């Protein structure tokens, strides 16, 4: 019987490692998040710390562990927000280029819009 209990405890511990993000805690009230880590003074090694006990500095309530699902949902939400923001900024840049085109005497019509389109198509190749 005790062997079964021990094997079940081991299985629970194994499954908890798969469910929760190591060392990540959050407040259920205000979404404050905390990554708990321990740094070894001797070796300099950093390891996650999964022991409960920290409290939210904003709400003074116990923090909850964060599941992999919650973490990935949060990442997906932030990616979606970044895509919307990038799209908005691209539209703004194109409008600015069109206005500059209207206000500056250019030798080549459409040059500013072309520059903006090249910058948008190659965001990492443009030098500031």
Q: Which is nearer to Zn ion, 27 or 116 (CB)?
A: 27
Which position among 56, 63, 112, 116 is part of the footprint of Zn ion (CB under 5 A)? 56
Residue 112 binds Zn ion, judged by CB under 5 A: no
Residue 29 in contact with Zn ion, rule: CB under 5 A: yes
Quote the least distance from Cβ 31 to Zn ion, whole Å.
7
How many other C-beta atoms lie within 10 A of the C-beta of residue 47?
12
Radius of gyration of the chain (CA): 26
Neighbours of 55 (CB within 10 A): 13
Given candidates 58, 87, 88, 92, which one binds Zn ion under the rule CB under 5 A? 58
2 three-state secondary structure:
helix
| Cβ-Cβ contacts under 8 Å for 65 (sequence gap 6 or more) | 20, 21, 24, 25, 50, 52
Site for Zn ion in 63-82 (CB under 5 A): none
- Report the residue number, 66 or 112, with the smaller CB distance to Zn ion: 66
The residues of the shown chain that bind Zn ion, judged by CB under 5 A, are: 27, 29-30, 32, 56, 58-59
């Amino acid at each position: 019987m005790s062997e079964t209990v021990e094997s079940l405890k081991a299985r629970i511990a194994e499954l908890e490692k798969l469910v929760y993000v190591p060392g990540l805690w959050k407040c259920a009230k205000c979404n404050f998040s905390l990554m708990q880590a321990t740094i070894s003074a001797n070796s300099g090694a950093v390891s996650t710390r999964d022991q409960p006990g920290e409290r939210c500095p904003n709400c003074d309530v116990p923090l909850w562990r964060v599941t992999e699902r919650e973490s990935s949902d949060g990442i997906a939400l932030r990616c979606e927000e970044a895509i919307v923001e990038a799209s908005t900024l691209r539209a703004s840049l194109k409008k600015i280029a069109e206005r500059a085109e209207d206000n500056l005497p250019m030798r080549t019509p459409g040059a500013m819009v072309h520059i903006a389109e090249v910058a948008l198509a190659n965001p990492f190749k443009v030098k500031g």
